[in-house]
Amino acid sequence: MNNKIIYKIVRNIFFFTIPAIILLIFISSVHLNGLSRAMYVDMVYGKAFKPFVTRTLTPSMIRIISSATPIKVKSALTEFVNHDNFISVFLSDNVLTKRIIEKKIKHFYPGQPAQFSYKQNLFVIILKYLKWEPEFILEYLFGLLLMYFALVGFAFSQKYLISLIFTSNKIFIDSIVIISLLLLPALNKYSLFVYDFPTLFLFTLCLVLMIKQRWKEYLIIFSLATLNKETTVLLIGVYYFYYLYQLKQQDRIFKRVLIAQVIIYVGLRLLLYVVYLNNPGSSIEFHLIDHNLILFTNLLHSADVALVIFSLVVFLFLLFYKWSEKPVFIKCSLQVPLFLFILTLFFGFIDEWRDYYESIPVIILFFLHSIGKIFNFQVSVK
7-20 pLDDT per residue, tens: 999 999 999 999 99
What totals of helices (H) and strands (E) does the chain contain, helices first?
18, 2
Report yes or no on 263 lying in a domain. yes
Domain count, the chain: 1
Interatomic CA distance for residues 178 and 154, integer angstroms: 11
Report yes or no on 100 lying in a domain. no
Task: Please name the residues in contact with 98: beta carbons below 8 A apart, sequence gap of 6 or more.
Answer: 118
Report yes or no on 262 lying in a domain. yes
Predicted local confidence at residue 122, as pLDDT = 63
Contact status, residue 154 vs residue 201, Cβ threshold 8 Å: yes
Report yes or no on 126 lying in a domain. no
pTM, two decimal places = 0.88
Report yes or no on 2 lying in a domain. no
Predicted local confidence at residue 91, as pLDDT = 43
Give the three-class secondary structure for 109. Answer: coil
Residue 344 has pLDDT above 60, yes or no: yes
- Which of the two residues, 157 and 102, has the higher pLDDT score? 157
> pLDDT tens, 195-244?
999 999 999 999 999 999 999 999 999 999 999 999 999 999 999 988 88
Contact status, residue 18 vs residue 181, Cβ threshold 8 Å: yes
To the nearest 10°, the Cα dihedral for 269, 237, 203, 380? 170
Instruction: Give the CA count within 13 Å in the CB-facing half-sphere of 381.
Output: 15
Report yes or no on 89 lying in a domain. no
Report yes or no on 193 lying in a domain. yes
Backbone angles phi, psi at 366, to 5 degrees: -60, -50
> 348 is in which domain, residue-wise?
9-67+137-381
Backbone angles phi, psi at 281, to 5 degrees: 95, 180
Report yes or no on 96 lying in a domain. no
Mean pLDDT of all residues in 150-178: 94
Q: Identify the DSSP state of 355.
A: G
Task: Please name the residues in contact with 301: beta carbons below 8 A apart, sequence gap of 6 or more.
Answer: none
> Mean pLDDT across the chain, nearest whole number?
85
- The percentage of the chain sitting over the pLDDT mark of 70, rounded to a whole number, equals 86
Instruction: Find how far residue 67's CA is from the centre of its chain.
Output: 25
Predicted local confidence at residue 300, as pLDDT = 82
Residue 97 has pLDDT above 90, yes or no: no
Contact status, residue 178 vs residue 14, Cβ threshold 8 Å: yes
> How would residue 115 be classed by pLDDT, with cut points 50, 70 and 90?
very low
Interatomic CA distance for residues 182 and 127, integer angstroms: 26
Q: Identify the DSSP state of 230.
A: G
Interatomic CA distance for residues 89 and 87, integer angstroms: 5
Mean pLDDT of all residues in 158-187: 91
